Structure 1
């Protein structure tokens, strides 16, 4: 796994405010350039992701909003939500 975890050594910690945002393009094979700890979805739907520990997780249908998750990849399979921003 090559995903970077920049906030692990930060004094902000994993429950503090975001230090970066990234546009998320779901993929079944490519990890995010940096691990995220939350997503904002602007188009309602489901989300499927690979956690920092390598576990595949998924949600039921979600309304537009922001959701916490520890993810190194947002999977294309099982993700119907769109316009996704990842928060580091």
Structure 2
């Protein structure tokens, strides 16, 4: 599981992000740090592993920013591109 800087304190999901990273979807590698939102530049589906270890796949999403908690963005099932993860 990636590091989660939110595990030790309360930081609401609507609070400002503490950082961001470009996301390359992968079926085998966790993100360097858990994310709590994504921005997608080109709409599509997102398949991700939540912090609970469960695989989730969205319906097609338009470009935009979405709140979510994820340890990994999966290549299989993800068609959205230009993904930024927010921590």
TM-score normalised by L of structure 2: 0.93
Greater helix share, structure number: 1
Query: 1:10 offset after TM fit, Å?
Result: 4.5
Q: Distance in 2 between matches of 1:77 and 1:65?
A: 21
Question: Against the structure 1 CA distance between its residues 80 and 4, is the aligned structure 2 distance closer, same or farther, given a 3 Å change threshold?
Answer: same
Q: Does the residue aligned with 1:9 lie in a helix, a strand or coil?
A: coil
Structure 1: 4+ residue segments shifted above 4 A: none
Aligned length in residues = 86
CA RMSD across the alignment? 1.1
Q: Which stretches in structure 1 are left out of the alignment for 5+ residues?
A: none
Cα distance per residue 1:6-65 (max 9 Å; x no partner): 123345x14221000000000000000000000000011000000001000010111000
* Counterparts of residues 1-88 of structure 1 (less than 5 Å): 1=1, 3-10=2-9, 13-15=11-13, 16-88=15-87
